[in-house]
Amino acid sequence: MGKAWKFEDNLNTDEIIPARFNITIDERELASKVFCEVRPDFAPGVQPGDVVVASWNFGCGSSREHAPIAIRGSQVRCVIAASYARIFFRNAINIGLPILECPQAAAEINEGDEVEVNLTSGEIFDRTTGRSFQAKPLPEFVLKIAEAGGLVRFLKEHSLEELVE
């Protein structure tokens, strides 16, 4: 369970991590600057297990992977959004950042609410208000990619024979 950090519509990748910091792919270094221009309180205040809750078109803009890497480095449990920009969605899966799409949860969870997420079932619980929401669960293979820390790590851990079974 963690605290909800709320963001608005059309948050782009430059607002997630400004381009001037994209000189590294070290996730902890990127995490120290994540959301620095739109939420300067995020990086110093986020705790492992917290949840990013966003509205529509989260992660629009450039296709760089630094944005989901920076969020993953902040140790949030996952991102819950009403919708994602397609390239951000794909990059998040590739680097192992768990994401759920649930417009109702994105609209009704408030800043600071205590939120619990079950990535396997897609269930989202707002413990502050007592409300629950149902996101489309992540497919099993996407959960395995996230657990491995990203697609590259997943592929290094599994043989081709395992993947086609």
Separation of alpha carbons 162 and 165, rounded Å: 6
Give the largest CA-CA distance in the chain: 46
**DSSP 3-state assignment of 68?**
helix
pLDDT of residue 162: 65
- Per-domain residue ranges for the chain? 2-164
In the block, residue with structure tokens 């992540």? 138
pTM summary value: 0.91
Element (H, E) at 42: helix 42-45
Q: What is the pLDDT of residues 66-121, one digit of tens each?
A: 999 999 999 999 999 999 999 999 999 999 999 999 999 999 999 999 999 999 99
Contact status, residue 123 vs residue 131, Cβ threshold 8 Å: no
Domain 2-164 bears CATH identifier 3.30.2350.10: no
pLDDT of residue 163: 58
Q: What is the pLDDT of residues 7-56, one digit of tens each?
A: 999 999 999 999 999 999 899 999 999 999 999 999 999 999 999 999 99
pLDDT over 70, % of the chain: 96
